[in-house]
Amino acid sequence: MKVVILGAGFGGLRLARKLNNKKGIEVQLIDRFNYHQFQPLFYQVATAGLDASNISFPIRKVFHKSTNVRIRMADVTGIRMEEKLVQTSTGDVPYDQLVIAMGADTNFFGNDMLEEHAFPMKSTVEALQLRHKLLQNFEDALQAKDKGDELLLQRLMNIVVVGGGPTGVELSGAIADMKRFQLPRDFPELDFRNMHIYLLEGTGRTLGTLSEKSSRHSQEYLERLGVTVKTNALLQEYDGKKAVLKDGSSIDTGLLIWAAGIKGNVPAGIDPAFIARGNRIKTDRSCRVAGQEHVFAIGDIAYMEEEAWPNGHPQVAPVAIQQADFIAKHFLQTLKGTANPESLFQYKDKGSMATVGRNLAVVDVPKPKMHIKGFMAWLIWMSLHLMLILGVKNRFFVFLNWLYNYVTYDQNLRLIFREFDRDAKQSARHTMT
């Protein structure tokens, strides 16, 4: 059985590991990057809390002792289901069983101006670009202050985060901690009482997928940290200088972070009739793409309805991991001739959580029904994420970074890396000689 897996996120990598060194199965794992990204901690890379290498892990290293898993770095350009072929930037790949686990990307909902000027955060590279912009704005703010340009100074010190889900809440809280502890020491010339952090949420509350208690506490924590939370606030446009809301109000800002929507990375070749809201691929309860016997979809890209989840599963890592386990079991049973066609996937929700800032977090546990907040929730959040990170070395360095940051109230990763301009370098050298 030749199994081709598209994407090395939580679902795709988990499936490949479950099938690793299993007799009778040949696995080809295809991803556009050669590393696995730990998405829940992107915001800490963006706010200089962690190094990008701490949350990224070489895919090939996972399979050093594998006899049946092979890695290919390529872009998936399409699927020809009738021929059982995956089209990639490096050539066509045949399959017996295909698993689409390509995750999701930022959804700007067709707003070209927003896409041009806002900063998303759905990859390690985008997190680094956001860190660069965040720090560079304060360097530019010093120049604006020296020139007496008050309008530009205020614009550079205003930060807008759009989307009150876990990403938006965690990012807003992390920036607020930077404002409290690090930035005033880095830029003593600036008055950080004039720095404003806005969190815009289109619905009536933050963390809408969590309990009402978690939602209420998260907003209370953010406001305690100095974040201005605006609920029922819809962004209409952003030109790189001013964010205009639907109610006509506006905010001058040189940095708008978009965390308000995602859409599945659906490859060409999927029947549009099987695409659900959010650009997700419809699947049956066996994770099969609707109408296909040998094509499966898991994780953020998959849309499956259960009685408990009539609008599809939440787009979180535990769903992808559990679906990968389900499919791996099915493949192995198929080889043995013991597969049960009546077997249906059922998501087991073990809880949800979000961190807001130093010593502040919220945790919801469904069974037994429990809500935890504050310092204890923050410790639970840290412990769980530390366990989920791939690689002993990564866990060690993340823990050391967290410990250092906690004890010193400081971070040592506030670095701005500029793009190397080879032509300018050679021109300068020629002028000097």
State the CB neighbour count (10 A cutoff) for residue 107. Answer: 18
pLDDT of residue 430: 53
In terms of pLDDT, which residue wins out, 43 or 411? 43
Each as own residue / partner, the long-range contacts of residues 236-242 (CB below 8 Å, 24 or more positions apart, any chain) are 237/111, 237/113, 237/114, 238/113, 238/114, 238/117, 238/118, 239/113, 239/117, 240/116, 240/117, 241/155
Read off φ and ψ for residue 63, nearest 5 degrees. Answer: -115, 30
Please provide the size of the chain in residues: 433
Among the residue ranges 21-30, 82-91, 102-111, 413-422, the one predicted with the least confidence is 413-422
**Amino acid at position 161, single letter:** V
pLDDT of residue 426: 55
pTM of the model: 0.91
CA 32/CA 73 separation, integer angstroms = 5
- Look at residues 107, 232, 178 and name the one whose alpha carbon lies nearest to residue 170: 178
pLDDT of residue 333: 95
State the CB neighbour count (10 A cutoff) for residue 75. Answer: 12
pLDDT grade for 410, boundaries at 50, 70 and 90: confident
CA 247/CA 46 separation, integer angstroms = 30
Per-residue pLDDT tens digits for 44-79:
999 999 999 999 999 999 999 999 999 999 999 999
CATH number 1.10.287.110 given to 2-32+74-106+262-336: no
CA 365/CA 210 separation, integer angstroms = 10
3-class DSSP state of 366: coil
What are the residues facing 92 on neighbouring strands? 87
- Is the pLDDT score of 360 beyond 60? yes
Tokens 């998501």 map to which residue?
Answer: 347
CA 116/CA 126 separation, integer angstroms = 14
Q: Average pLDDT in the 345-366 region?
A: 94
pLDDT of residue 419: 60
Q: Average pLDDT in the 82-94 region?
A: 96
Q: Average pLDDT in the 158-179 region?
A: 96
Under 8 Å between Cβ of 335 and 24: yes
Q: How far from 372 is each of 199, 217, 348, 363, 380, CA to CA, in Å? A: 23, 10, 20, 5, 9
pLDDT grade for 427, boundaries at 50, 70 and 90: low
Return all residues near 203 (Cβ < 8 A) that are at least 6 apart: 164, 231, 232
Under 8 Å between Cβ of 138 and 175: no
pLDDT of residue 233: 96
pLDDT of residue 394: 87
Q: Average pLDDT in the 384-392 region?
A: 87
In words, the CATH class of domain 112-260 is: alpha beta
**Amino acid at position 385, single letter:** H
- Is the pLDDT score of 181 beyond 60? yes
Under 8 Å between Cβ of 377 and 169: no
Q: Average pLDDT in the 362-389 region?
A: 93
- Is the pLDDT score of 390 beyond 70? yes
* Rg value, the chain, Cα: 23
pLDDT of residue 164: 95
Tokens 């619905």 map to which residue?
Answer: 203
Domain chopping of the chain, boundaries: 2-32+74-106+262-336, 112-260
pLDDT of residue 384: 92
Instruction: Give the chain's mean pLDDT.
Output: 93
Under 8 Å between Cβ of 32 and 73: yes
* Percentage of residues in the chain having pLDDT higher than 90: 87
Among the residue ranges 15-24, 125-134, 142-151, 406-415, the one predicted with the least confidence is 406-415
Return the active site residues.
170
